[in-house]
Amino acid sequence: MKIARALVTGGAGFIGSHVVERLLADGVAVVVFDNFSTGYLRNLAAVAGHANLSVVEGDTLDRGALADAMQGADAVFHLQANADVRGGMHHTRADLEQNTIATWNVCEAARLAGACTLVFASSATVYGEPAVFPTPEDVPLVQTSLYGASKLAGEAMMQAYAEYFGLRSLVFRFVSCIGPRYSHGVVVDFLRKLRADPARLEILGDGAQRKSFLDVRDTVAGVFMALERSTERKAVYNLGHQDSVDVLTVARLVTEELGLAGVRLEPTGGVRGWLGDSPVVQLDTTRIRALGWAPVIPLEVALRETVRDLVRREAEPAN
């Protein structure tokens, strides 16, 4: 189905800005809707001034502003979210408001605007601590974090609106995305700690946690391949790399890219970095690979390029 006009929530963010670039390249008129709490105009520098791009500063909790921005959109890419996975223990309403309620607001605005397609950025955290690896989409989902629970609620909201109102719903369960414009997560945490003390690096957990990352460019390619080739009206797809890496290896790659030698790696101990952290994240991507998608950027290459991009952007103004 041809998309003529799309609204992208969180379109000035890390993943959102890459989605915006792809939509514009495909000839789609794009409205970015972002409150700029974690998004930045500099992320849209490559498309600034594009004739088909509109940028609206607004919050997904503001239903009026969201409805105004949604007018004429036939597709909605809902990428905005509270991204602080660990913060739920201390701010228990954040995930409810910024993820669950915000997602309902987006679905309702899309319905009223007559949109046809909903695309939702979910997360591998909806699996909690699964017993099956690689983890397929149809395993039982037992929640271990408020963030994961709020993402799962968002998935259900998308699917319910698709069922009630004849919309198309595509849900993507992402692993941790890395790459150009990466903004939060373990690589950023390591960089900040090493800037504060280049001699030592605290690592949450025992460092043996194995994670699958995915370069944002492979992520966006998977989303658009599913949009183009999936024949399901309601679909859920895992998006992750077939390879994984332990956290200690990530730490070593970061120190190497920073040119630091002799850094003491100091794991805090335990199999989890924090409550709700899954010791292993490795998704089964058979379903989306059947559409012809596969990641092309090796994990080590993506991790090293992520560090280089972060270092380059350290000297740039935030906006």
**Structure-derived torsion over alpha carbons of residues 120, 125, 130, 133, reported in degrees to the nearest 10:** 70
Measured between alpha carbons, how far is 287 from 240 in angstroms, rounded to an integer?
12
- pLDDT tens per residue across span 209-235: 999 999 999 999 999 999 999 999 999
Task: State the Cα–Cα distance between residues 244 and 266, nearest whole angstrom.
Answer: 21
Fold of 186-211+243-281+297-314: UDP-galactose 4-epimerase; domain 1 (3.90.25)
DSSP 221-259: HHHHHHHHH---SEEEEEE--S--EEHHHHHHHHHHHTT
* Range of weakest confidence among 80-94, 131-145, 303-317: 80-94
pLDDT digits (tens, 9 = 90+) for 32-57: 999 999 999 999 999 999 999 999 99
91: pLDDT strictly greater than 80: yes
d(CA 319, CA 312): 15
Mean pLDDT of the chain: 96
Tell me the average pLDDT across 66-82: 97
Q: How far is CA 109 from CA 55, 132, 231, in A?
A: 18, 37, 25
Which residues are bridge partners to 5 per DSSP? Answer: 29
Amino acid letter for position 291: L
- Is the peptide bond preceding residue 295 cis, with omega within 30 degrees of 0? no
What pLDDT, on the 0 to 100 scale, is given for residue 276? 87
Quick one: pLDDT at residue 86?
82
- Determine the average pLDDT of the residues in 140-156: 96
Break the chain into its structural domains and give their ranges.
5-178+213-239, 186-211+243-281+297-314
3-state helix, strand, coil split of the chain in percent (to 5) is: 40, 20, 40
User: Per-residue confidence at 179, pLDDT binned at 50, 70, 90?
Assistant: very high
Q: Is 80 exceeded by the pLDDT of residue 1? A: no
Tell me which fold the domain 5-178+213-239 belongs to.
Answer: Rossmann fold (3.40.50)
Grade residue 89 by pLDDT with cuts at 50, 70 and 90: confident
